[in-house]
Structure 1
Amino acid sequence: MSPGSPPTSAATSSTAARSPGRNYPLKYSRSKVYDLIRSKRLASFTEGRCRRIPESAVQEYIRTRLEEAS
């Protein structure tokens, strides 16, 4: 692996982001993310002690928000 290339571990190649983590695609506050999860507007699951949000759930949330806005 060259110095500029990203790591290729299973954690970075997964399609579920930690909630809310540095790589989380939505720029919402932590409390906003958990409000969305509690209100069932954003799907998530737990893996050990970590809450994960599948990439497909984020895309679905964005699609739903765009439909609501139009």
Structure 2
Amino acid sequence: MSNPDRPTHTERETTTVVTDGGGGGAVWFLIGAVVVALIIGGYFYTGGDFFGGGNKTIDVNVDVPKVEPAN
């Protein structure tokens, strides 16, 4: 059974800690650095033409010397 001499109400002290969300700035800096590196890498990978709008023509003319057939 229950003890009638036991107190029915207890006082508790509560502490609430609130942070302002500062921090994590280094993570955002690293993410930004990776994005910039990907953009620069993509620029070099595509030869500076991201959208393919450049009309590039490559003409290759090779003069081959004439060789007499072997007997």
| TM-score interval, smaller chain | under 0.3
Greater strand percent: which structure?
A: 1
Greater helix percent: which structure?
A: 1
Q: Is the radius of gyration larger for structure 1 or structure 2?
A: 2
The normalised TM-score by structure 2 is 0.25
